[in-house]
Amino acid sequence: MSGNSNLKIYLYRGKDRSGQKVSGSVSAKNLDSAKGLVRQLGVAANQVKKKRPSIAFSRRSKKITPNEVAILSRQLATMIRAGLPLIKSFEVAAESTTQAHIKELVMSLHINVSAGNTFSEALSKHPDAFDELYCNLVAAGEISGTLDIMLERGSIFQEKAILLRAKIKKALTYPITVMVVAAVVTAIMLIKVVPSFQTSFASFSAELPAFTLAVVALSEVVQESWMWVLALIGATVIAFKVAKARSETFLYFLHRHSLKIPVVGNIIFI
């Protein structure tokens, strides 16, 4: 298990058994091991090379979706229930999919379990695909001898989570749309409408209300510095995404305070 820290990522391109072009990545100690893993995936590779260090925005291997996890879980549960050994179930699952990223994941599980790790330990090496609850379910199934039942249960949990996310997205679509429209209307007002009234305001002999003066001042700032405002917004969004992807501390902070948001926090908690 300690040797996993020495693994390197190798990118490959080639054709699968059906003749379709595929590409992906595998983790291995050296180039020869990587080529062997690619052959186990059923890929005739014309290129296998070590992945170079890259910045946060470089393209990464396709991430397995919750729906794909649910399908894989049910597939493994069915084969185990039919009496197929876990290792053989991995091989069948890898053979039955045309998705390179799923093949890569399944073969990684195959390699880890073959090396002496438990199934739950192999799953925990892929936190992007299998959360802590899923890994604990599988661990309980291994201990109790009910792995097929726990995999089936994990599949059900994944499907319920998918439905819940869909409902939340649907519920949030309207308020998000309203906020976007409001932001666009506000920008148009500040850039186009308010300037047209500035000459009229200047001809008033009476002192303008503080709120009106503030709106005029804000309009002038937006007109003069709109490029900087857009750049600041863009930089903030990019920094947020990078921090969210690379910092567990920031992610914990974000989730913790998201739960305190009125109404929305209750939805997220559910």
Q: What is the pLDDT along the chain (270 residues), one digit of tens a residue?
A: 444 445 677 888 888 878 888 777 777 778 888 888 888 878 888 888 887 654 333 344 578 888 999 999 999 999 999 999 999 999 899 888 888 888 889 988 988 888 788 999 999 988 888 989 999 999 999 999 999 999 999 999 999 988 988 888 888 888 889 999 998 898 888 887 877 776 676 666 667 778 877 888 888 887 777 788 788 888 998 988 888 777 778 777 777 777 666 655 555 555
Q: What is the DSSP letter of 161?
A: H
Q: pTM of this prediction?
A: 0.56
What's the confidence (pLDDT) of residue 268?
54
What's the confidence (pLDDT) of residue 169?
83
Residues 6+ apart with CB under 8 A from 170: none
Give dist(CA 120, CA 140) in Å, integer. 9
Give dist(CA 50, CA 26) in Å, integer. 10
Pairing of strands 44-50, 8-15: antiparallel
Pick from 245, 249, 254: which is nearest to 54 by CA?
A: 245
What's the confidence (pLDDT) of residue 55?
39
Domain ranges of the chain: 8-50, 66-159, 173-264
With contact defined as beta carbons under 8 Å apart, do 87 and 114 qualify? yes
Tokens of 6: 């020495």
Give dist(CA 113, CA 121) in Å, integer. 8
Give dist(CA 129, CA 140) in Å, integer. 19
With contact defined as beta carbons under 8 Å apart, do 92 and 84 qualify? yes
Angle at 125 between CA 124 and CA 128, to 5 degrees: 85
Tokens of 69: 């996890």
Residues 6+ apart with CB under 8 A from 46: 13, 14, 15
Overall fold of domain 66-159: Receptor-associated Protein (1.20.81)
